[in-house]
Each structure stands twice: as structure tokens, then as C-alpha cells.
Amino acid sequence: MLVVMSHTASEADVRRVIDVIREMGYEARAIPGKQRTAIGLIGNDGKVDGSRLEGLPEVLQVIHVTQPYKQVSREWRTEPTVIELENGTRIGGDEVVLMAGPCSVESEHQIVEMARVLRDAGATVLRGGAFKPRTSPYAFQGLGVHGLELLSLARRETGLAVVTEALEPEMVETVAEHADIIQIGARNMQNYPLLRRAGRTGKPILLKRGLAATIKELLLSAEYILAEGNDKVILCERGVRGFDQHTRNLLDLTAIPVVHSLSHLPIVADPSHGTGLRAKVTPMARAAVAAGADGLLVEVHPDPDRALSDGAQSLHPYQFEELVQQVGIIAQAIGRRLAPVLQRA
């Protein structure tokens, strides 16, 4: 439930509403807005009788949030959430954000040189896994903490922000020391202890849709993070399991406008995992931007044929440059633009 205060409400009026919500046995969260303050009631698992709140001074309206994902919903917040990173990248506004990099961090040379090329091409966020969720236990599992250190080095050298995955709850704080955005991978979308722990860091979280997750399940997983007091969540459509063998996954671009209508959170698309095929990445990147994606997460490798993971879906650097040109035109056609190229550090 949301209690909307009139614009003349004083701090004491807001306080009184919060106290009454607590007396009723629920949690209260003040949401200051440009015009007026709203107070969210959380902790209920069904409809709450709001009559006591309706009668309090300066209460304008009591809105019942009908969706099970409350704080994530558009009912809770009508304006889109914009997440600003330390390097100035804004995710969820007019700008389309480019996040790019190799699937895995492999060496200092690989990640730092890649980061330079990507920054010059227009990316503002560097991706790269240090802890890799691999289908086979015998496949390359990532460089671990050393990989995180190399990502920090690449950020210092280039000014790019870093997004990297936290695979298990115990490592969340270590990942948070090196990441601007903590990635929760598709396989972990419903790992609730991991979501809670990542949420508590207060860092932006990139939450990838599970292989067989519905949009509602994705939004409820995001709710776990918001329930920890962290509303900096970026959703990611990365494809769901389909029945056709021609692509690795079925990139569900419908999820983009659907999420935008249901939620105020930004959503980016990952056409690399969404297709699994290098030649299909750019067409689907174009389609994702046309569908309204707030950004792209793209795998790029300096030498894809020698990549330690996901080489088949990784672009060559020159292909990423072409992708940027093309999606820039599409962004403009729908009244958006690409985030400006970072100045050399």
C-alpha cells in the first residue's frame, strides 16, 4: 500500500503516518518525490485495511498496490528509476548504455587492452566474469579474486565502470569492492540468499533473467533486492530456453516493453547469450534498442576464437564498432541517444 501525502504535509504529518503504520504491525518506507512524499507500507501478504490511514491529517490518497512485486511496480513509483554510476553513466534515462567486454577476464593484457578499445568505441561499462557459472565443472571457472583485481586495474586505466558476477553469497562483499555493478547470473536469479546479500551492499545490481523464468518471477526476484532497501536494480533480458536448436536461447524482446509497463526499473538486453552466435548479435542488438532497451550487454573479445569461454558468441572489436554505429542511429530514431564516449583517463 502507498500513502500519498498532500504537498502541504509537514515532517510531523509524515512521521505520524509512519508511526501508525508501525503500530499496525507493518514496516514503513518514506519515498520523497518532487511534488509530494509518499509512504510505502511493506511486510503485508494480502490486502491491508487502510481506513485508519485515510483519516490522518494531510493524507491525500491511499493506493493499494495490486502487484505482488510492490516496490518494483509502476504503481509504487510512476517515474522511471535512473541509476547513476561514479563515472557518470546513467542507466534508465534517455541514454542507451553500452556495457561490453569479454565473457571472462583472462589476463591483464586481455582485459586492459580490451577496455581501451571498448571505451574508444563508446562503451561506458566494462563487463568481464571473474567467477564463472559454467555448465561443466571441468570448464574454465574464471580467475577469481585475481580477475577482480584486473577489472579494478582496467577501470583505473580507462574510466570505464565495471560489471562482474557474484556467484555465491560469501563472495558478495569481495565482488562489491571491485565492481560498480554486481551481476547476478541467470542461473542464480532465484538464489534468494544471494539476492539479499547483494541487495544489502547498496550497490547497483544487474539481475539477469533465469533460463526458464517468467517476467513475473524476474520482477519478484528484483523485489528481494528492493526489500533490502536497495532500489538500484537493472534487469537484463538474456534469452530463455526455447525449443529451436538454431540459437542458444530465445531472446525475448517482448520482455522489454512488458517490463517497462509493469516496472519503473531499467532493463538492458544481452544479445550475446540471447543468441549464442556472433553473426546474430548485432541484428538482435539493433532490435533490442528499437524495442526500448535501456542498454546492451555485449560480449567482445580481442581474439574470440581463442576465448576461454563463449568465444562463438563474442564479437571481434571491429564488429562492436559497427554495432555502436548502427544502434546509435536506431536510438536517435526513437528519441534517445547513446551515452557519450568517456574521455581518455
Q: Which stretch binds Mn ion (CB under 5 A): 33-41, 212-220, 306-314, 325-333?
A: 306-314
Report the C-alpha gap between 157 and 47 in whole angstroms.
52
**Axis-axis angle for helices 278-290, 317-333 (nearest 10):** 20
Minimal CB distance to Mn ion: which residue? 103
Task: Say how many residues touch ligand PEP, by CB under 6 A.
Answer: 9
Name which position in 194, 310, 324, 327 contacts Mn ion (CB under 5 A). Answer: 310
155 binds, among ligand PEP, Mn ion, none (CB under 5 to 8 A by kind): none
133 binds, among Mn ion, ligand PEP, none (CB under 5 to 8 A by kind): ligand PEP
Residue placing its CB nearer to ligand PEP in the complex, 43 or 133: 133
Task: Say how many residues touch Mn ion, by CB under 5 A.
Answer: 2
238 binds, among Mn ion, ligand PEP, none (CB under 5 to 8 A by kind): ligand PEP
Name which position in 72, 160, 171, 186 contacts ligand PEP (CB under 6 A). Answer: 186
- Residue 302 CA: distances (Å) to CA of 56, 96, 339: 62, 24, 23
Report the C-alpha gap between 322 and 329 in whole angstroms.
11
Name which position in 29, 208, 280, 301 contacts ligand PEP (CB under 6 A). Answer: 208
Q: Which stretch binds ligand PEP (CB under 6 A): 66-74, 77-85, 183-191, 278-286?
A: 183-191
103 in contact with ligand PEP (CB under 6 A): yes
Name which position in 83, 91, 103, 289 contacts Mn ion (CB under 5 A). Answer: 103
Q: Which stretch binds ligand PEP (CB under 6 A): 23-31, 136-144, 184-192, 217-225?
A: 184-192
74-82: long-range contacts (C-beta < 8 A, 24 or more apart)?
Answer: 74/261, 74/262, 74/263, 74/264, 75/2, 76/2, 76/31, 76/40, 76/264, 77/31, 77/264, 78/264, 79/264, 80/260, 80/264, 80/266, 81/231, 81/232, 81/233, 81/264, 81/265, 81/266, 82/266
336 binds, among ligand PEP, Mn ion, none (CB under 5 to 8 A by kind): none
Q: Which stretch binds ligand PEP (CB under 6 A): 11-19, 43-51, 179-187, 276-284?
A: 179-187
Q: Which residues contact 322 (CB under 8 A, 6 or more apart)?
A: 282
Shortest CB 275 distance to Mn ion, Å: 12
248 in contact with ligand PEP (CB under 6 A): no
Report the C-alpha gap between 256 and 272 in whole angstroms.
16
Shortest CB 99 distance to ligand PEP, Å: 10
Report the C-alpha gap between 219 and 205 in whole angstroms.
13
Residue placing its CB nearer to ligand PEP in the complex, 197 or 238: 238
- Residue 295 CA: distances (Å) to CA of 13, 125, 205, 236, 304: 40, 10, 14, 9, 23
In 48-178, where does DSSP find H-type helix?
A: 51-54, 108-121, 145-158, 172-178
Backbone torsions φ then ψ of 136, nearest 5 degrees = -100, 135
Residue from 130, 173, 184 nearest 154 by CA: 130
Residue placing its CB nearer to Mn ion in the complex, 164 or 191: 164
Residues making contact with ligand PEP (CB under 6 A): 103, 129, 133, 185-187, 208, 238, 273
